A and B are shown apart, each in its own frame.
Chain A
Amino acid sequence: MGLSKPSRRVVFKIRFLVVAVGALLWVLTHQIVEVTKFSFPSWSHILRNPTASYDQRMMSQWGTDYRFPAFVRDHTPPGAVIMYPPWVAPWINQGNSLLLAYFLYPRRIYPEGYQKVETNKAITHVMVAWGKGKPADWRMYGWPKFPVNSRRFFHFPREREIFLAQLSIESFPSDTSLKNPTKNVVSSWPLLENYLSNSEKEVNRHEMLQLERPLEYLSLTYTSNSYDYWTNKVKVILTENILVKARVRANLRHSVDLIAEVAYGDGKLAVFESSPNRQQGSWEELAIDDLYEKAKRYGALLGWNTGKIEITRIGINPGLPLEMPYLEKYGVIELERGQERKNGEFDIGVDCAPIFVARGNFYGAKNQIGKAIASYQRAEMLNPQDAWVHFNIGEMYRKQGKLDKTIEEYRRAIELEPNIAWFHFALGDVYRKENRADLALESLKRAAQIDPSGIWLQNALGDLYLERKMYEKAYEHFEAASRYKLSVDRTHAEKALEWLRRRSS
């Protein structure tokens, strides 16, 4: 191209203008816009929260995935050994070992292994993680799926709202054919008082609402709750035809029950409880059935003076622990390892079920099975509606090798709480040990219907199908088990899969 020098200069000039003024400035503008778009949220955050703490900054980036381990960190000593959820959905971040190692620094962490909770005494805590993201099956949420011998459970603050109406002691005549049989013995109350408690809470509101009928309203935020009794003093002789009842409405299922304290002739005291509320956000009636028989039986068993029994307090327990799988969603459980107790921790002067459950857990951890059973049985007498007490008794019998009694207690637990997958799994497991494969399969299938997650369940189902030579089904379950990356029990599934693959090839 024979362009003259001036023409070339013009061409160069045009090119320079196109590239430098056009392309480069366009790129620069684009970049500045992009960088500003990226930085703007940070600038705005910095200006709004210049003095935010490290935790606040991390929380605004990670949300619950940081708030949760930070909570665990704040409620565990630096030397703690903490079991964490599996690294599968919905615990992709909450079960990520290295993230946890960082967030929980310098605490030590231990991967999921339901048997290890009991056998490895070095483990001191278990995380309770609800999970995040979108698992294919909503039943996956909530971990641990297995029962944990808990000493204390610290969880995210959770508000409980309870409306209470018509708390009363009624007397009904022995002749039930009468037209208006009941009569209020006591029914007009001042506000309930906090009586006995093993909880960490804040009382947000506690007042009498003057609606059509007076309602007592209680708003509490718990971070730890084993029991929390709110009562009023009464003095009513307990007879066969006495009934303690109330209407309650709570914002959470299984969060409140009715209680009555009974005084024996020799001054001994015991608290009896009703079954918990079964619904969320609707009114239901709670009552302590057969209180007289229960009190008489309890006193007689302990050799107390049952000649004259009085009801000395009635009220509610809004600090009832929620059901498994730990519906408080996020928190940390301090394991019961038979740690030394302060004087009086197990003896508060009043017999009540949560204390005996704690005592049972304590003796169970120390492998003093007889004492543990005795404690759980006392808890059962005070609160026979508690499915976990039956399950725990079953566990103790299992340790003693009394499998018939174990099955009996597990069945009772299932009767009271039919939707806890672990009860069915445990029952199925005992049936397997007893070589009752059909019953075992039935129980395990029921467990899988309620909650198919859990490597142990998939392994157990795989084993059962393998025994029956149903290889495809077995493969399916072992494959599901093998998805639990890093889980201690994964090796079993992998070995089985290898064997099945070899067999088919």
Chain B
Amino acid sequence: MMLVLALLLPALLGLTISWLIVADLATLERLGLSYALGFGFLTLVMFLLNVLGAKFSLFNTTIVVLVISGGLLVLLKRRNWPGLLRSKTQNAFRRMKEIVSSFSLFEGILIALVIFFVLSSLAVSVYWPVWWSDSLTCYDLRAKLFHEAESFPGAMSMLRDRVLRENYGFYVFERPPMTSLVHTWLYLCGWSNPKVFYPLLLLSLALIFYHSLKGHVKRYHALLFTLILVTTPYMYFHTTNSYTNFTFAFYFSVAGFYLYRWVLREKMGLLVLSGVFMGLASWTRKESTIFFLGYLIILLFFSISRRRFSAPLIFCLLYFSIAPLWDVYARVVFHFMRAGSPGAISGIPAILTTAGSLLDIVRWRDVLIFFWKDVLTWVRIVFYLLIFTTLIYIERVRRHLFLFLMVVFNIVLFLVGTYLTTLTDGFAGSVGSARRLVLMFLPTIWYFVAFITAESRFLNTQTEPSISTVGVDSSPTGR
């Protein structure tokens, strides 16, 4: 019972928040969204409660989450959510049967494979305990300390007490706490293996990705790319361990999907979701800021040309309402003073001070070689395909210029980040984390490739939205 509650309660919180933000979403997409959003906000609730002096406990968190969810449901009553829920559940079986019977054999095979690989990821994740070195020594160790000490300062002093004579506080507590708090929550609910969170996040990603494509490309195409996404080996591998990279890739990519969907449909809710997910990405890993700035620049360019001046402000507001939380907390409570990595907010002054050294051509050449030879070791095929499809469908790139720029900015900023990191850590010291971080681009790259390779007949019969035509809602599902 408690184990189910551990997953349902965050999903309920996510559901109410997603209803508040966007009213009309497909049921499966909403489920995926609720799960990811719910865990993101649940951890924020745990954090804020702890800052206010309440201990990490099942009781505290459950009560607050129920109160928030209840409050939101009351607030949303004017949107007639009970009616909406009834309409969704009425004849659900019959409608499901209709949908299933509408699938072609090929689509059926694709769906079966997606389900199989998600289930496989779930089985592998749940069977093996948290065992990867960094996920043990940093994220899960921290979760255990949170669970036992019931507070951040308590966990810090407990670590100092356990590892005598060594100060590992900075190493363990420096990074944003999202995944550790998820583990803490699952431990509080009695789960012995918190890794259950990650494959379910893969399922969420598959659902959101599919629905982000579905309205714009043919169904089989969306399913094909969903399967490609789910079976991307490096990402699949990361869903079975508990590093933060997959979670970060999830929140960052979903932020990108919704941002692009906002560009296509200009529905405020989608922009809000994008900002929230970008904020939650920063709640997972500190490297988000540099990539957020990239998206912001593209958004500014777009917003100015569309006269949507409030959009960048909303995007920034949402991002910065979450991004600095841990940094500030760690500075105030733990007195961490070291500058963050090049990707973090705290790393911005470092970037500015080292800007002068960005002109070293030889180092840039080395960075590019390092990126291609060492960083992309396990994902080179994705980049080959990106280059190949971009070249072969070059005329469609303009239609998806915003998405293309997102992909390009990500890569360019990643190279800048790598350049700056190698200034301090050298190439050998950067390779592991750079390889893992590259994971964050993969869903967005697949998203872009899916768009530009969509079957032309379909595109010819639709008014395909492009950066130059957006302004009028042209999506088949748009309102």
Interface residues of A (CB under 8 A from B): 9, 12-13, 15-16, 18-20, 23-24, 27-28, 30-32, 34-35, 38-39, 42-43, 45-46, 54, 57-58, 61-62, 81, 96-99, 101-102, 105-111, 486, 488
Q: Are A19 and B128 in contact (CB under 8 A)?
A: no
Q: Are B453 and A111 in contact (CB under 8 A)?
A: no
Choose among B136, B148, B164 the residue that contacts A106 (Cβ–Cβ < 8 A). Answer: B148
Choose among A9, A12, A38, A81 the residue that contacts B237 (Cβ–Cβ < 8 A). Answer: A38
Smallest beta-carbon distance A190→chain B, Å: 51
Choose among B117, B137, B159, B168 the residue that contacts A35 (Cβ–Cβ < 8 A). Answer: B117
Q: Are B224 and A28 in contact (CB under 8 A)?
A: yes
Q: Are A42 and B163 in contact (CB under 8 A)?
A: no
Q: Are A42 and B236 in contact (CB under 8 A)?
A: no
Choose among B113, B123, B137, B172 the residue that contacts A99 (Cβ–Cβ < 8 A). Answer: B137
Q: Are A42 and B137 in contact (CB under 8 A)?
A: no
Smallest beta-carbon distance A94→chain B, Å: 13
CB contacts (< 8 Å) of A27 on chain B: these are 228, 381, 385
Smallest beta-carbon distance A115→chain B, Å: 13
Q: Are B120 and A111 in contact (CB under 8 A)?
A: no
Known contacts: A28-B231, A38-B237, A58-B129. The answer to whether A110 contacts B136 by CB under 8 A is no
Among residues of B, the one whose C-beta sits closest to the C-beta of A110 is: B164
Choose among B162, B168, B236 the residue that contacts A38 (Cβ–Cβ < 8 A). Answer: B236
Known contacts: A20-B453, A23-B388, A27-B228. The answer to whether A39 contacts B120 by CB under 8 A is yes
CB contacts (< 8 Å) of A28 on chain B: these are 224, 227-228, 231
- Considering only residues 188-233 of chain B, those with a C-beta below 8 Å from chain A are 192, 221, 224, 227-228, 231-233
Q: Are B231 and A54 in contact (CB under 8 A)?
A: no
B98 at the interface (CB under 8 A from A): no
B103 at the interface (CB under 8 A from A): no
Q: Are B455 and A16 in contact (CB under 8 A)?
A: yes
Interface residues of B (CB under 8 A from A): 113, 117, 120, 123-124, 127-129, 131, 133, 136-138, 140-141, 144, 148, 159, 161-166, 168, 171-172, 192, 221, 224, 227-228, 231-233, 236-237, 240, 381, 385, 388-389, 392-393, 453, 455-456
Smallest beta-carbon distance A67→chain B, Å: 13
Among residues of A, the one whose C-beta sits closest to the C-beta of B126 is: A46
- Describe A's contact surface by its main secondary structure: helix
CB contacts (< 8 Å) of B192 on chain A: these are 54
A-B contact pairs, 8 of them (CB 8 A): A16-B456, A31-B381, A32-B113, A32-B231, A35-B120, A38-B236, A42-B128, A106-B162
Choose among B128, B163, B165, B228 the residue that contacts A57 (Cβ–Cβ < 8 A). Answer: B128
Q: Are B381 and A102 in contact (CB under 8 A)?
A: no
CB contacts (< 8 Å) of B231 on chain A: these are 28, 31-32, 34-35
Q: Are B389 and A62 in contact (CB under 8 A)?
A: no
CB contacts (< 8 Å) of B456 on chain A: these are 9, 12-13, 16
Among residues of B, the one whose C-beta sits closest to the C-beta of A46 is: B127
Measured CA separation A42–B159 after assembly (Å): 33
Known contacts: A46-B123, A98-B171, A102-B137. The answer to whether A111 contacts B144 by CB under 8 A is no
Smallest beta-carbon distance B5→chain A, Å: 23
Known contacts: A31-B231, A31-B233. The answer to whether A98 contacts B164 by CB under 8 A is no
Among residues of A, the one whose C-beta sits closest to the C-beta of B224 is: A24
Closest 3 A/B residue pairs (Cβ)? A98-B137, A34-B233, A31-B231
Choose among A31, A61, A101 the residue that contacts B131 (Cβ–Cβ < 8 A). Answer: A61
Q: Are B233 and A38 in contact (CB under 8 A)?
A: yes
Known contacts: A32-B113, A39-B120, A101-B162. The answer to whether A19 contacts B453 by CB under 8 A is yes
Measured CA separation A35–B128 after assembly (Å): 17
Measured CA separation A111–B167 after assembly (Å): 12
Q: Are B127 and A57 in contact (CB under 8 A)?
A: yes
Smallest beta-carbon distance A407→chain B, Å: 33
CB contacts (< 8 Å) of A16 on chain B: these are 453, 455-456
Among residues of B, the one whose C-beta sits closest to the C-beta of A39 is: B120
Known contacts: A19-B453, A42-B128. The answer to whether A24 contacts B228 by CB under 8 A is yes
A12, A39, A58, A109, most chain B CB atoms within 10 A: A39
Measured CA separation A30–B380 after assembly (Å): 12
